[in-house]
Amino acid sequence: MKNLLLASTSTLHGQEYLEYLIPTLKSHFSGCTEILFIPYARPGGITHDEYTSTAQKAFEKAGLGIKGIHDFDTPAEAIRKAEGFFTGGGNTFLLVQQLYNYDLIPVLKERINNGAPYMGTSAGTNIAGLSMKTTNDMPIVYPPSFTTLGAVPFNINPHYLDPDPKSTHKGETRETRIKEFHNFNTPPVVGLREGSWLEVKGKDIRLKGMLNARIFEAGQDPYEVEPETLLNDLT
């Protein structure tokens, strides 16, 4: 039975890293003692060790240990033996490139499909979708494929931002970008606002948090769904 927590962001304004998710972490990783951290997205270009240290401080508050995948000689074997997984945010292009470089997509997908608890934030949430094509990140490196884990039957756009009617910015809005995606692709897209997450339990996919999500389907007008809504039919 799939068991995923897919959050838009790791940090809310005025809070510490993962602070708003600590209570949920405890239940999500119930029965685990140490989580395998995948720091490949490296926000701001920080080192794997620096990123892992940040995650460790947060997970300690939930009574959980963390070890970075970069500390293992064989990353694929680390995934096979891990109790659970956390993939942090940063640059999705870099994250996906590294996952392909170490041939980790198949083994991570297998573990997730077999019920190992997985948590992602931002880029780590992007890769749970069918592809990374709805990321907001710059293509700083070139992954061999945009295809990702397909743990949910749609794409996700973390950090979804609504248009600001007072803004003088004349560039494309997030909604415009997603419509561009649908000119060439058919999968639905879930726009996850900050502080929201998807809870995946078996076949049930439920929106959690305090804010609505914005749903985009090819050829249709976007619409809003409220927290606790099931998204099982979004394919």
Residues marked active site are found at 122, 137, 159
The encoded tokens of residue 69 equal 């995948």
Cα(232)–Cα(235) distance, integer angstroms: 8
Report d(CA 54, CA 49) in Å as an integer.
9
Q: How far apart are CA 149 and CA 151, in angstroms?
A: 5
Using the CB atoms, write b or e for 217-226: b if 16+ within 10 Å.
Answer: beeeeeeeee
* Alpha-carbon Rg for the chain in angstroms: 17
* 3 state SS of 159: coil
